[in-house]
Each structure stands twice: as structure tokens, then as C-alpha cells.
């Protein structure tokens, strides 16, 4: 049974809770590496002073030294290192690689049994380490050996949690193969091994590729551990990619060579005039003080500083997940080193994979951080849905309105919006051309249309990206006439990048636009229904006939002018979520969606035995979910039904469809409205 529960998501990152024999831990988390013989800072101090929840130590070192082995066998590993929280033990794979030990040095079954006998919360199999620069044939051999050892080891774990390490060197296809096979075995955690040499040589893009290749096939209910990754500058990106556990000995190793860790890199203490940090150590001493200390004292204080910085960054990552701001933190850290920036760009080549796990809607804004915003997963999703779901594909005239998006569109384009409200879609469309992409007027309030904040000075790559997106949309919409309003706006350059069979009329003022549009009507038409139809298509891929929704009544907020509710007679069918512009169906609205023919992509089916709890308004727990579409994204507004597809309630999905089916703990859907 899964011991992992997901509480919040951002990107592929999971804010979760993992349960062990010695308590629960909150992920993502970092485990300091503990050497039994070197304890300048004790494990107890790591927990009490710094707040580390779990530590990792090496079972091979313990087993190979009589004094450690005997105490561990009699008092357990927790007694050996005096730590009452969860402890993970490594098997010695890296020591075999680092010290070039013979293969027979460690027996794969004996080391698993030993970890079990000393009471490890999480043990690790003995896998075969592949150096980054060895040939493919050797890596294939190591993967095969690791899988063979995994098969014989997993049955020995009993009540100990066991980690099955993914190997495959720098070859993504071998990582995928390793992950696929490991996923079929009864492991509890999956480390991604072979990372330390890549870290040491700044091969961050390789780490991104092998992490994503592994994640593609690993079960969602098992935490992923990026072995040997613990530098603060990489934690945000690794968490964004879905890594839950990290470990590192750098706090001690770096201190021993007078290296001073920061969230953006590593400095040498001897080069510092000031200590650029607010931790207890740096507020107690100056750089001169530290440099003049005796070596042992200096190393101890550097270790403490390095630990404070590392745990501080881990907390920053967890809070960024809660706030929906992890992408911005990743982008900021990417400026720490050119190779880390390259890794960010590499990551965005896999935007389609990332988007599947990215929450659909968020209440926070998306801040421009650089050229990476052109391929932000949320912007990618919005554009994909505009291309594939926008219901209006034919019009007599189309206005292209370039806008940086600094203010609501009804403030920057009041007169064109006033005109479009007098028309049907077949007569006029407005497309706002923004740095995020192309935003049809009907979707102006749908997340993230107006939650993206960009500067006036925009990079060329972003402008080119918008041009490509606009071209793709124009290729799908037939228009007799296209009008471009030239404005003093960075987006005005986009018109040079498009090519269309329709003649483009360039206008300089809004007055010229109004004249070109030639709108004959003087009163508003059913523009709210037009918007509603577009939102339902964008949100649920529903092509709703106007005849169906003409009988509905839409209320408007007097303060904002936005839609608030959709009613049918006295029943509220939908409430518009003010921060996202999306529709939240009531129970009556859920019945309407079923009648219209909403896809099973937005249906979550649960065990009949818990139907009564949903009817009473309780949330749908993941362990009772029996069907959820592989296409369901976290954050979607969904219907909750029993096995006969009878509607029980409606709510917001907290997990993706595959996650719901994989998890045995935690909430899958937060119920908003129920049958009662």
C-alpha cells in the first residue's frame, strides 16, 4: 500500500506527506548524509537546530566496521547515530564506484538483510553504478545487473521500506527501460542514481533529461529520490521535475575545503570580505573572524552555515509550491550558472510531459522571468486549447489587437469590445495578441489570460514565439477581412511575422478600426452566451449549441463587469470562479453537463460503498477512485459519479487522473456541491 499522500502541486512538484515507521515527513525534503565516525554536528542537532526531518547514512560503512556493526545490530541504526526520526540507508553502490572496490565486496542480498536487521526505515538495493562517459554497452550491462539484483532483493524487504534505484547513465531510453521494469516490482521509493558525477561536472541538462525519462514510467505513489543532489541552486528545478527526496554530504565536504554555499552557487571563504547571508553563523561572525579561526572551528561553523542555507532553500521550494510560484524560483536559480540556464531550456523541450501534471488554474499571477516564459507550460496549454477547442472558426472580419497585457482588456480596448458585443461571432472576432499568446476576447478572463505580467522591454524570442502562435491560430480561422491596430506596444512587431491569405488592413487609431469594422447593429446581442459557449469549449471541450444555452440567465458583477452566475430558472448551474474565470458547476450544473454530453475525461468514478459520503459533501479520497481519465489534469472542475455514472457531486480535482488511480492516500477531488 502506498505511504505517500499529495497535498498540493506546482509543475510536476508534489507537496506531500510520506509515512515511515519513525514518523511522517513532508516532501520535498533533503536528507543530510551522516557518517557514523564523523559527527561534528550530531544527527540530533540536525533535527533540533536545523529542522531536517530525515537523514541518510551508509549501511556498507556500518557493516564493514566492527564497532559500528555491533552497536547497530544491538541498538539499531537509530541508536548508533542517536536519531529518533526516519533514517534511510544506502547500500554502498557509490563507495564501490568511488573506491573502485571489487564486485564481490558487497553481496546484494546480505546488504538488504543487514539494513533490515539494523532497523532502517528505508533501505536501498545494491545497484550497478555507471560512469557518465562509459560507452552504451557498459551502461546496458549495468542496467541489466541492477535489474537482476532488484528482482532478487525486493522479496527480502519484509516490513522495511525499500528503494529501487533507476540506472541508465546519460541514455534516456535506458533510463526509461530501467524505470519501466522497476515500476513492476514492489518498491517504495525510486532513487535516480548516477547523478553525482553529473553534478560535479555541471551537466545539469543531462540530469533534466534522465530525470524526465525516469519519471515517465515511475508510479505516482512512490517518491522519487534524486541521489546525491543537494546543492541549493538545483533543488528548485529538481523539485519542479517531480523529485521528492534529496540527499547531500556537501555541507561537510565543502566546509572542509573552505567553501561557502549560497542559494546561487559556492564561494571560497578566503575570497569573501563580507558574509552574504542572514543565518545565525553569518550574523555572529565576520569573514575575517572566520578566516582567522582554527581549522576545526572554522569547518564547524561553515558546516552550520551550509546547512542553514540548504534547509532554507528547501523550505523556500516547499512554500513556492504552495504559492504556485515554483516556476519563477526555478527561473531565478537558472541565472546562477549558464549550465543551469541551459538545463531550464532543456526542461522546456519537454513541456508536453510537464503540462500533463501542471495544475489547470491558479489564483496567482505569472511573472515574466525571461525567454523561458515563451514556453511556460501554462501558456502552452492555453494556446493548445485555443487551437483545438475555440468554437468560432468562420467570421466576416477579425480585429487583431496587440497588447502587452498590463491592464484588463476592457480598459485598453473599450470601444472595440463595445462593438464586438453587438455582433455574432460570424460577423466579428477580436484576438488580443499578447506576450503569453493569442487570447480570444471571449476568453479574456480565463486563466492565465490576464494573470501574466510582462515588461515593456520584451526579448526577441518571446515576440517570435507569439508570431508563431498567432500564425497557427490564423491558419484555423477563416476571415474575409483582418484588421491590425498599430499601437505603441511591444506586441506591435508581431504583425511582421504573420502570413495570411486574407488582406490585412493596418489601422493607426481606434476610430479607424471602428470605421473599418462597419458594424450596423446599435444594440448588444447575446454576447454573454457567446462567451459562455467559448469558455465551456475551452474548459471541457464541449461544443454547446446556442439553442441549449439561450434559455439560461447570466448575472454580471456590478463591480467588475464579469460574469458571476449562470442560472436556469431558479437553479444556479455554474458559478464563475473570480480568480480564474472558469466555471464551477453546481449539482444542477453537473446534471446539465451530463445531458449535454461532457466527456469522461472530466468524470471521476468512485466506489459505490462511499457514495453516501460524497452525497453528504465529503471529499473524494484517492483510494476510492475507480475511474479517472489519463487526460484529466489537476485543477479541473469535474463530476463525481458512482459506478453507474449517476451524479453524486461536483468538485475540483487535486490530482491528475493517473495520480488518482495510483494513490491510496489523500484527497483526489475536493467536493464543491453534492446531491444533498
Q: Which residues are catalytic?
A: 90
- In 3D space, the residue among 336, 322, 432, 249 whose CA is nearest the CA of residue 13 turns out to be 322
3-state secondary structure (DSSP) of residue 398: strand
Angle between helices 460-474 and 377-389 (to 10 degrees): 20
Tell me the C-alpha distance between 566 and 590, whole Å. 13
The total of other beta-carbon atoms located within 10 Å of residue 322's CB is 12
Q: How far is CA 12 from CA 212, 261, 350, in A?
A: 10, 26, 12
Residue 523 has φ and ψ, to the nearest 5°, of -125, 160
Tell me the C-alpha distance between 220 and 207, whole Å. 20
Tell me the C-alpha distance between 676 and 614, whole Å. 9
Beta bridge partners of 261: 266
Residues in the chain: 676
Tell me the C-alpha distance between 452 and 120, whole Å. 47
SS (HEC) of 594-623? HHHCCCHHHEEEECHHHHHHHHCCCCEEHH
Query: What's the half-sphere exposure (Cβ side, CA atoms, 13 Å) at 612?
Result: 1
- Helix, strand and coil in the chain, % to nearest 5: 45, 20, 35
DSSP state at residue 651: E
DSSP state at residue 38: B
* Helical spans, DSSP H, in 475-542: 510-517, 527-540
- In 3D space, the residue among 587, 526, 534 whose CA is nearest the CA of residue 553 turns out to be 526
**Pair type for strands 553-556 and 224-226:** unpaired
Q: How far is CA 46 from CA 78, 123, 259, 317, 375, in A?
A: 14, 21, 20, 19, 39
**Pair type for strands 620-621 and 667-674:** antiparallel
Residues 6+ apart with CB under 8 A from 75: none
The total of other beta-carbon atoms located within 10 Å of residue 531's CB is 22
Tell me the C-alpha distance between 636 and 621, whole Å. 16
The total of other beta-carbon atoms located within 10 Å of residue 284's CB is 12
Tell me the C-alpha distance between 439 and 99, whole Å. 58
Amino acid at each position: 500500500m502506498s505511504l505517500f499522500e499529495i497535498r498540493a502541486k506546482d509543475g510536476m512538484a508534489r507537496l506531500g506527506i510520506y509515512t515511515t515507521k519513525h514518523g511522517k515527513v513532508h516532501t520535498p525534503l533533503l536528507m543530510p548524509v551522516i557518517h557514523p565516525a564523523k559527527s561534528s554536528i550530531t544527527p540530533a542537532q540536525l533535527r533540533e537546530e536545523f529542522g531536517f526531518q530525515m537523514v541518510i547514512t551508509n549501511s556498507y560503512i556500518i557493516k564493514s566496521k566492527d564497532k559500528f556493526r555491533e552497536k547497530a545490530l544491538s541498538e539499531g541504526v537509530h541508536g548508533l547515530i542517536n536519531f529518533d526520526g526516519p533514517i534511510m540507508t544506502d547500500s554502498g553502490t557509490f563507495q564501490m564506484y568511488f573506491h573502485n572496490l571489487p564486485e564481490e565486496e558487497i553481496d546484494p542480498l546480505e546488504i538488504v538483510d543487514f539494513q533490515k536487521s539494523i532497523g532502517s526505515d528505508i533501505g536501498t538495493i545494491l545497484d550497478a553504478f555507471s560512469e557518465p562517459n562509459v560507452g552504451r554497452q557498459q551502461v546496458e550491462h549495468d542496467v541489466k545487473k541492477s535489474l537482476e539484483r532488484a528482482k532478487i532483493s525486493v522479496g527480502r524487504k519484509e516490513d522495511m521500506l525499500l528503494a529501487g534505484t533507476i540506472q541508465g547513465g546519460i541514455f534516456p531510453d535506458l533510463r526509461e527501460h530501467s524505470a519501466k521494469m522497476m515500476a513492476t516490482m514492489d518498491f517504495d521509493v525510486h532513487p535516480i542514481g548516477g547523478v553525482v558525477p553529473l553534478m560535479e561536472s555541471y551537466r545539469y541538462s543531462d540530469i533534466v533529461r534522465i530525470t524526465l525519462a525516469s519519471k515517465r514510467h515511475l508510479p505516482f505513489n512512490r517518491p522519487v529520490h534524486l541521489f546525491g543532489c543537494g546543492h541549493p541552486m538545483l533543488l528548485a528545478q529538481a523539485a519542479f521535475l517531480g523529485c521528492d527526496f534529496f540527499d547531500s554530504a556537501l555541507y561537510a565536504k565543502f566546509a572542509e575545503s573552505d567553501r561557502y554555499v549560497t542559494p546561487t552557487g559556492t564561494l571560497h571563504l578566503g575570497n569573501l570580505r563580507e558574509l552574504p547571508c542572514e543565518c545565525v553563523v553569518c550574523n555572529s561572525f565576520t569573514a575575517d573572524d572566520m578566516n582567522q579561526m582554527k581549522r576545526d572551528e572554522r569547518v564547524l561553523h561553515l558546516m552550520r552555515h551550509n546547512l542553514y542555507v540548504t534547509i532554507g532553500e528547501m523550505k523556500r521550494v516547499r512554500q513556492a509550491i504552495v504559492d504556485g510560484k515554483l516556476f519563477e524560483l526555478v527561473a531565478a536559480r537558472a541565472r546562477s550558472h549558464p549550465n543551469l540556464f541551459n538545463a531550464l531550456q532543456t526542461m522546456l523541450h519537454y513541456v508536453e510531459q510537464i503540462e500533463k501534471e501542471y495544475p489547470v488554474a491558479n489564483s496567482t499571477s505569472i511573472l515574466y522571468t525571461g525567454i523561458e516564459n515563451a514556453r511556460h507550460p501554462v501558456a502552452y496549454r492555453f494556446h493548445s486549447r485555443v487551437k483545438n477547442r475555440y468554437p468560432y472558426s468562420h467570421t466576416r472580419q477579425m480585429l487583431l489587437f496587440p497588447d502587452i497585457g498590463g491592464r484588463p482588456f476592457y480598459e485598453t480596448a473599450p470601444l472595440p469590445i463595445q462593438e464586438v458585443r453587438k455582433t455574432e461571432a460570424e460577423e466579428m472576432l477580436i484576438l488580443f495578441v499578447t506576450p503569453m499568446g493569442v487570447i480570444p476576447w471571449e476568453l479574456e478572463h480565463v486563466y492565465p489570460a490576464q494573470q501574466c505580467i510582462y515588461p515593456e522591454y520584451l526579448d526577441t524570442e518571446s515576440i517570435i514565439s507569439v508570431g508563431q502562435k498567432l500564425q497557427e491560430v490564423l491558419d484555423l480561422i477563416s476571415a474575409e477581412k483582418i484588421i491590425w491596430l498599430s499601437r505603441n506596444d511591444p506586441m506591435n512587431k508581431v504583425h511582421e511575422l504573420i502570413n495570411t491569405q486574407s488582406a490585412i488592413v493596418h489601422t493607426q487609431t481606434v476610430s479607424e478600426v471602428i470605421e473599418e469594422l462597419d458594424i450596423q447593429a446599435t444594440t448588444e446581442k447575446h454576447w454573454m452566451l457567446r462567451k459562455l459557449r467559448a469558455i465551456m469549449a475551452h474548459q471541457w471541450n464541449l461544443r454547446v449549441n446556442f439553442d441549449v444555452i439561450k434559455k439560461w440567465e447570466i448575472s454580471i458583477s456590478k463591480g467588475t463587469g464579469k460574469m458571476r452566475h449562470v442560472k436556469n430558472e431558479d437553479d444556479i448551474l455554474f458559478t464563475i470562479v473570480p480568480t480564474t474565470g472558469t466555471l464551477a458547476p453546481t449539482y444542477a450544473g453537473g446534471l446539465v453537463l451530463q445531458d449535454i454530453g461532457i466527456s469522461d475525461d472530466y468524470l471521476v468514478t468512485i466506489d459505490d460503498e462511499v457514495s453516501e459520503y460524497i452525497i453528504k459533501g465529503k471529499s473524494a479520497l484517492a483510494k476510492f477512485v475507480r475511474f479517472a481519465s489519463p487526460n484529466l489534469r489537476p485543477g479541473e472542475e469535474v463530476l463525481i459519479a458512482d459506478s453507474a455514472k449517476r451524479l453524486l457531486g461536483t468538485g475540483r480535482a487535486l490530482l491528475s487522473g493517473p495520480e488518482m488511480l495510483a494513490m491510496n492516500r489523500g484527497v483526489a477531488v475536493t467536493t464543491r456541491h453534492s446531491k444533498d
